[in-house]
């Protein structure tokens, strides 16, 4: 269990969901113990911005890191891809203040990484092992991290809209599960909120190409959903990305009810602030829990509609 990086530089472009403007981004190999680092190449030789909780700037509607007035927003789906596929060290060069939105999921970033290879470095990987429960509560929701022998996510959402309602999703994270169950789940939003954002000059890049939009009684996107429970899968994807702000993979169970970026980041902060609650463990072999996962997968509802069911 060693640290990893990418073999070669890979390049992608898209638009920023906030600005609606083009963004070019490259993922570059980085040395062991670099972590995930952003470099705003449009701002000259600025300092690198680590994708870590101590650089967290904002969590409203997306996750943003910043340093000395330079920020990078909407990092969560990219971080989720690194965390999900087991990539520890990457230098991300970007020419704008937000990661491109692509199709609102992590699928394009998985495809991008598949253009090169994940290579192993000599340094051992370190995990942050949860030693005792930590918990936060906010506005009727909660988030907690519990000791557990693998990287479990138990995400529970509860929306008033009957189009979403209550949905729960449980996964023991590894690269296979990430690719199959999480990467393709898209961002979603309500039409009334999108219209409100647009009227204020916000979310200018959001469209049916990168957001599942919910009207009063139906999904507006003509292609429908990719999974019957795409909403909770996306919230799980977000949590995988936000928990990467810890700076190392977390060995433990993360549970949230009515969570979101704010609570995901807050639980990382809460854990790391309590030195009795965690420790670094080196290269511990994380047990595979395929059997358990397969049992759960049987219980998951099959995709109900939409042409894209893989």
Q: Count Cα neighbours of 171 within 13 Å in the Cβ-side half-sphere.
A: 23
Closer to Zn ion by Cβ: residue 89 or 187: 187
Residues 6+ apart with CB under 8 A from 98: 16, 17, 18, 19, 23, 62, 72, 73, 74
Active site residues: 261
Residue listed under structure tokens 């060995």:
251
Which of helix, strand or coil describes residue 71?
A: strand
Determine the straight-line distance between the first and last CA of the chain, rounded to whole angstroms: 30
Residues 6+ apart with CB under 8 A from 263: 136, 138, 141, 142, 143, 256
Structure tokens at 23: 């963004």
Closer to Zn ion by Cβ: residue 62 or 113: 62
Closer to Zn ion by Cβ: residue 77 or 125: 77
Query: Which range touches Zn ion (CB under 5 A), out of 14-22, 159-167, 213-221, 234-242?
Result: 234-242
Closer to Zn ion by Cβ: residue 187 or 206: 187
Shortest Å distance, C-beta 76 to Zn ion: 5
Q: Interaction with Zn ion in 180-219: which residues (CB under 5 A)? A: 187
How far is 210 from 102, CA to CA, in rounded Å? 6
Shortest Å distance, C-beta 105 to Zn ion: 8
How far is 86 from 213, CA to CA, in rounded Å? 31
Closer to Zn ion by Cβ: residue 156 or 238: 238
Shortest Å distance, C-beta 65 to Zn ion: 15
Closer to Zn ion by Cβ: residue 134 or 203: 203
Query: Which range touches Zn ion (CB under 5 A), out of 219-227, 236-244, 266-274, 289-297?
Result: 236-244
Residues 6+ apart with CB under 8 A from 40: 46, 49, 70, 72, 94, 95, 97
Does 154 engage in binding with Zn ion (CB under 5 A)? no
Angle CA 160–241–162, to nearest 5? 15
Structure tokens at 179: 């690719």
Shortest Å distance, C-beta 234 to Zn ion: 6
Shortest Å distance, C-beta 20 to Zn ion: 18
By CB under 5 A, how many residues form the interface with Zn ion?
Answer: 2
Residue nearest to Zn ion (CB): 238
Counting every residue written for the chain, the total comes to 310
Query: Which range touches Zn ion (CB under 5 A), out of 85-93, 151-159, 179-187, 270-278?
Result: 179-187
Largest CA distance in the chain: 54
How far is 145 from 142, CA to CA, in rounded Å? 10
Residue of 238, 246, 252, 256 that binds Zn ion (CB under 5 A): 238
Shortest Å distance, C-beta 104 to Zn ion: 7
Query: Which range touches Zn ion (CB under 5 A), out of 139-147, 162-170, 237-245, 299-307?
Result: 237-245
CA-based nearest residue to 104, from 80, 123, 129:
80
Residues in touch with Zn ion (CB under 5 A): 187, 238
């Amino acid at each position: 269990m060693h640290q990893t990086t990418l073999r070669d530089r890979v390049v992608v472009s898209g638009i920023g969901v906030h600005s609606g403007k083009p963004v070019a981004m490259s993922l570059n190999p980085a040395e062991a113990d670099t972590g995930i680092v952003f470099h705003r190449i449009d701002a000259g030789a600025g300092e690198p911005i680590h994708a870590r909780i101590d650089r967290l700037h904002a969590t409203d509607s997306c996750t943003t890191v910043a340093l000395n007035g330079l920020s990078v927003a909407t990092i969560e789906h990219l971080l989720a891809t690194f965390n999900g596929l087991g990539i520890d060290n990457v230098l991300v060069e970007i020419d704008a203040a937000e990661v491109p939105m692509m199709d609102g999921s992590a699928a394009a970033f998985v495809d991008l990484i598949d253009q090169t290879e994940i290579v192993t470095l000599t340094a051992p990987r370190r995990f942050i092992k949860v030693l005792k429960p930590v918990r936060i509560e906010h506005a009727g929701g909660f988030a907690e991290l519990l000791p557990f022998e693998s990287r479990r996510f138990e995400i529970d959402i509860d929306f008033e809209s009957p189009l979403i309602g209550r949905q729960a999703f449980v996964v023991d994270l590894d690269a296979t599960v990430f690719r199959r169950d999480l990467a393709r789940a898209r961002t979603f939003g309500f039409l009334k909120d999108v219209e409100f954002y647009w009227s204020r000059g916000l979310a200018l890049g959001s469209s049916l190409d990168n957001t599942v939009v919910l009207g009063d009684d139906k999904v507006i996107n003509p292609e429908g959903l990719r999974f019957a429970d795409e909403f909770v899968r996306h919230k799980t994807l977000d949590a995988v990305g936000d928990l990467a702000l810890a700076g190392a993979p977390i060995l433990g169970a993360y549970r949230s009810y009515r969570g979101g970026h704010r609570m995901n980041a807050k639980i990382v902060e809460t854990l790391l602030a309590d030195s009795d609650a965690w420790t670094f463990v080196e290269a511990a072999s994380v047990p595979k829990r395929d059997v358990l996962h397969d049992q759960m997968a049987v219980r998951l509802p099959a995709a109900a509609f939409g042409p894209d069911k893989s």
